[in-house]
């Protein structure tokens, strides 16, 4: 039924163009495509702030693990590192299975405002980073920005409660920025939030299996291994 509704919404499209189904899902859920609807809030100042929040992903992803490493909490450090890595690689696999281009490419004709921030600040840094990606990038679904940041938050709640509260506003800002900056459809975020707990569930089981194999073969396990 869902497939039929989506097909009726978007009409005939290339079945490999997953992003058209994501756009249709956004419209079914919200009545609009959130990244297009968000245009009404665009200003140079907000764009600069959103670029700053988006770039924070580079430290949000490893932050919980690094704090545990500095405290020499080896078991927890390994658990968090495994969770983050498993989440990344599961996401990469899903990029191959569901090759969806981001809205900044697919919906370019629907956008009426430019995302221009202030020269020489975060907008410039973000543009330089995005220029390294292929023009036809298919890495929208799921949102690893949503997934990995949620993994870091979940482990922070488990092991470093004070860091969870510090990290939370930056993570929420990151999620909002992915819509404002047209990097993701809303359903990409939902998929990322579902991927995160699955990665957290898989990671310790995978690590325990690997450590068991090492022991069976007579190799010493790494510090912090189960």
Per the CB < 8 A criterion, the answer to whether 107 and 35 are in contact is: yes
> Long-range CB contacts (< 8 A, 24+ apart) of 126-130?
126/51, 126/54, 126/55, 126/181, 129/55
Which pLDDT band, with edges at 50, 70 and 90, does 9 fall under? very low
Alpha-carbon span 88 to 101, nearest angstrom: 18
Q: Which pLDDT belongs to residue 120?
A: 55
Mean pLDDT of the chain: 86
Q: Taking the model in full, what pTM does it have?
A: 0.85
| pLDDT at 136 > cutoff 70 | no
Q: Which pLDDT belongs to residue 1?
A: 43
């Amino acid at each position: 039924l869902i497939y039929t509704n989506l097909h009726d919404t978007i009409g005939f499209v290339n079945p490999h163009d997953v992003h058209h189904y994501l756009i249709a899902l956004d419209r079914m859920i919200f009545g609009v495509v959130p990244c297009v609807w968000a245009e009404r809030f665009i200003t140079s100042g907000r764009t600069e702030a959103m670029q700053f929040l988006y770039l924070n992903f580079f430290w949000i992803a490893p932050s919980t693990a690094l704090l545990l490493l500095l405290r020499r909490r080896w078991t927890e450090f390994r658990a968090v590192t495994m969770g983050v890595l498993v989440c990344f690689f599961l996401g990469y696999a899903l990029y191959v299975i569901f090759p969806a281009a981001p809205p900044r490419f697919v919906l370019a004709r629907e956008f009426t405002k430019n995302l221009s921030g202030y020269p020489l600040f975060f907008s410039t840094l973000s543009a330089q980073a995005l220029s390294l990606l292929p023009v036809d990038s298919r890495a929208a679904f799921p949102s690893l920005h949503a997934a990995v940041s949620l993994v870091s938050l979940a482990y922070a709640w488990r092991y470093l409660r004070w860091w969870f509260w510090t990290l939370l506003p930056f993570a929420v800002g990151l999620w909002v920025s992915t819509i404002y900056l047209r990097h993701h459809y809303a359903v990409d975020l939902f998929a990322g939030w579902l991927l995160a707990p699955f990665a957290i569930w898989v990671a310790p089981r995978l690590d325990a299996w690997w450590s068991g194999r090492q022991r069976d073969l007579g190799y010493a396990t790494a510090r912090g291994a189960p």
